Structure formats: structure tokens, C-alpha cells
Amino acid sequence: MIARPATRRHSNTGVWVLVAISLLLAANTSPPASPSARRPAGGPPASSGVRPPSGLTFTTAAGCRPAGDYPSPQLDRRVRQLLMAIAAHHHVRVSCIRTGHSRFVAGTRRVSNHILWRAVDVDQVDGHPVRASNSVARELARWIGQGAATVRPNEVGSPWAFGTRPWFTDPGHQDHLHVGFPGPTQAGGGR
């Protein structure tokens, strides 16, 4: 008669450890949720990880939330390029990009470039509010309209009447610089 090996009871602990490790690895390597799934309803899209330059700050004083809009991959690359060029020479405060801005241009049924991610408002230049007496902001508005930042906007609203487009002035633009770009939107991604 042949002797059979003694039966041993095996613990399932090792199997459960392997299952737990597999689940943890799967949870950490699963694809991220879509940008719209990661944001709260009505909020800006998920960030692309873009950090603003040191000369750029944001405010919610105008009812907008530009700090959350700046890193969005939906922001037109020309807006970000302009802000980076300005911040290399001035300290500017952005009061609006998209979130919180009205859908239509005031008094019209025309969709605002803000809603299309193609516009930005600046309410302070070098720590001083934009107003008719701010000569630094005046020169900045002229510089922007001339396309000196290597991007050429088709809207530069301000307190000053420089002449024809892209510049304009009206009662709604006496306390900030508005810069808008023509369509189509040139999404900025992580730039």
C-alpha cells in the first residue's frame, strides 16, 4: 500500500491579499473621469494644471470666478498668451474670463466672447484700478490693440476712444480692459 501524503489545510489569506492588491492597483490605474464628470454642476471644466505667471492675480469683485477658468483647457490659447505677455511687464488683476459672465453682450442677443472662452477682463494694472486717469492702463490698452503681444484681438474695450476697431469705449467699459478674440476658439490645452 502506498502512503498518501498528509492533507494540509490551506489558508485563503494569501489569495485575499492578492485580490486586495489587484483591486487597489486597478483603482489607481483606471482612466480618469471625463472633465465634465469631475466638476461640480455649473462650474468651470477641470484644470489642465496650468499655473498663472507671478504677475497675474484674480478677483471675484465683478461677480466672475476667473481663477478657476484660467487653467481650463477650453480657454482660448490667445487669451492665455496675451495674459502671459502682459504679466511679463505688469502686475494685472483679472476680473472675468468666463464663469459668472452674462451669456449675451449687454443690450444684445449676441453671444459674448467670454462665454466662448475667447475674452478676458482686467480691472487693475500695477495695483491701480483701470479708469480714464490711469495712464499705464491706457498705454497697455493701446499696446494690446496693436497686437504687440503677438496675438491680435478684434475687441479692446476700455475707458479711452483710440479710434477704430479693435478699440472701443462705452459706459460699460469705464472700469476695466476687455479683450476679445475672433472665432473660432483656439483651445489652449496645457499651454
Cβ atoms of residues 66 and 58 within 8 Å: yes
Contact 108, 117 (CB under 8 A): no
pLDDT in tens, 85-98: 999 999 999 999 99
**pLDDT tens per residue, range 137-156:** 999 999 999 988 889 999 99
* Average pLDDT in the chain: 81
Query: pLDDT band for position 3 (50/70/90)?
Result: low
